[in-house]
Chain A
Amino acid sequence: MSEPIVKFQDVHKSFGDINVLKGINLDINPAEKVAVIGPSGSGKTTIIRMLMTLEEPTSGDIIVNGTNLWKMEKKGDMVRANEKHLRQVRGDIGMVFQHFNLFPHMTILENCMTAPIHVKKETKEEVRERSIQMLDRVGLGDKLNNYPSQLSGGQKQRVAMARALVMRPKIMLFDEVTSALDPELVGEVLEVIRDIAKHDDMAMVLVTHEMDFALDIADKVLFLDEGVIAEQGTASQVIEHSTNERLQGFLHRFRK
């Protein structure tokens, strides 16, 4: 087995007096699909937000590709990472958000092209071609010059995925990407994720309430409860063979 691409080592996070995460230990292997499930408020989203550098852990280490994400070496000491260090380490990570967060002042093609051009310094022609391919792949090849405000929620979320994929991440994070959608639009977004999971060899972490979907595509399922990973394993291990009562209760509520 190859080295994990992401390692969480005793990661804690508190917001004020509230301890959201109380010691997370987690390995994610290259190309592994990980589903994070658990009751709301259990800190699922916080885990991937720390990995994306949107929240700083209170303590513990997150190692990405062998490099400490939030700490860097300076004169023999490990100090808090500066922006330059964060940018170096997070370059392989992409994220899709619950509320899409498309850039409203750009067309959907520009949404996809901006970062590769300005961040990765790739040529415009190359990025344009790849962006169009990617938008085609998510079924929006005919909307290149539309603005986000002209799209449905499901279409926006598919653009957001194309925008992240154009950056060629090695790790993709999905933060409850169907929670803000009307029920009839959920399917088209899940279809795209399923397609990515099947054909791309990047690692994926899905925070989700779409239980059946998550269990279907995930290699590994984490059940997060009260700030710790209460259960982890393959889908069948976690769902069918777990004796964890809170997990059974949680699943029961979903299966009703």
Chain B
Amino acid sequence: MINAIIDIAPQLARGLSITISVLLASAIFAYLMAFIAGLCRLSQNTIIRKFTGLYVEVFRGTSLIVQLFWLYYAVPMLFGIQLGSNWWIGVIAIGLNYGAYLSEVVRGSILSVAQGQTEAATALNMSSFQRMRLIIFPQAVRMMLPEFGNYTIQILKGTSLVSLIGMTDILYYGDIMRSSNLSQAPLVYLLVLVFYFILALPLIWLTRKGESISRKGVAS
């Protein structure tokens, strides 16, 4: 048993760099999309609002794995566009998907800052941009923190899908180990779970931290 673990763990560890790099890049991309789309959905401009709404609903309403296959197989064939290496395709698909979910968090948080805050800022003669930048946004961000933490943990788990487009992440090496020695399958996948859980621990801790920050410093 111990020997088997010593055999398997280093193999799985070879996938760490891909899992972690896809996690970091797609999380950053998702946050970026979340703020852009979240703010666009609050725009005065109907076209911007509708267009962003379409993006959000399409990416929330369809499965991540199908989106991944679309970007990997279908888009290059249909439009002749190469989106880059499969690392980039994984990052783009995961980022767009979770960006759509997170944009709703951004939008909801901004809307839930009390109306009185906008009024007080208006009474101090702030412009609408200053109201957003100095008063509304800083409070909204505090409220977003716990949900951003939760979704980042989801993104970590979502990265395992890139093994399906040939990326050599933790799950990919797990599959290799299992196919070379079927009897080890339970142990292999147990260790895969342990790897993901250890990676999730700092994210779980950050989410807790975010929750305690968001509890103070917000007007209700």
Q: Which positions in A face B, CB cutoff 8 Å? A: 52-54, 83, 87, 90-91, 93-95, 97, 99, 101-105, 114-115, 118-119, 147, 149, 160, 163-164, 167
Q: How far, in angstroms, from A171 to B117 measured CA to CA in the complex? A: 21
Q: Mark B172-214, 1 if CB is under 8 A from A, else 0.
A: 0000000000000000000000000000000000000000000
B139 touches A105 (CB 8 A): yes
CB distance from B152 to the nearest CB of A (A): 23
A104 touches B125 (CB 8 A): no
B142 touches A105 (CB 8 A): yes
Other contacts beyond A54-B123, A103-B135, A147-B216: 12, CB < 8 A = A91-B125, A97-B119, A101-B116, A101-B119, A102-B120, A104-B219, A105-B138, A114-B134, A118-B134, A164-B123, A164-B124, A167-B125
> Does B21 reach chain A (CB closer than 8 Å)?
no
B124 touches A104 (CB 8 A): no
Within 8 A of A (CB), among B113-130: 114, 116-117, 119-120, 122-128, 130
B117: A residues at CB distance < 8 A = 101, 103
CB distance from B122 to the nearest CB of A (A): 6
Q: How far, in angstroms, from A97 to B134 measured CA to CA in the complex? A: 19
Classify chain B: how many residues form its interface, as a range. Answer: 20 to 34
B116 touches A167 (CB 8 A): no
A114 touches B124 (CB 8 A): yes
Number of A-B contacts (CB under 8 A): 67
Q: How far, in angstroms, from A94 to B124 measured CA to CA in the complex? A: 7
Q: How far, in angstroms, from A115 to B121 measured CA to CA in the complex? A: 8
A87 and B127 contact, Cβ closer than 8 Å, known pairs A52-B122, A104-B219:
yes
> Does B10 reach chain A (CB closer than 8 Å)?
no
A149: B residues at CB distance < 8 A = 216-217
Residue of B nearest to A149 (CB): B216
Kindly identify which residue among B123, B126, B127 contacts A95, using a CB–CB cutoff of 8 Å.
B123
> Does B25 reach chain A (CB closer than 8 Å)?
no
A119 touches B128 (CB 8 A): no
Q: How far, in angstroms, from A90 to B125 measured CA to CA in the complex? A: 7
> Does B218 reach chain A (CB closer than 8 Å)?
yes
A118 touches B122 (CB 8 A): no
Q: How far, in angstroms, from A115 to B135 measured CA to CA in the complex? A: 11
Q: How far, in angstroms, from A72 to B139 measured CA to CA in the complex? A: 34
Kindly identify which residue among B114, B119, B123, B130 contacts A118, using a CB–CB cutoff of 8 Å.
B130
A87: B residues at CB distance < 8 A = 125, 127
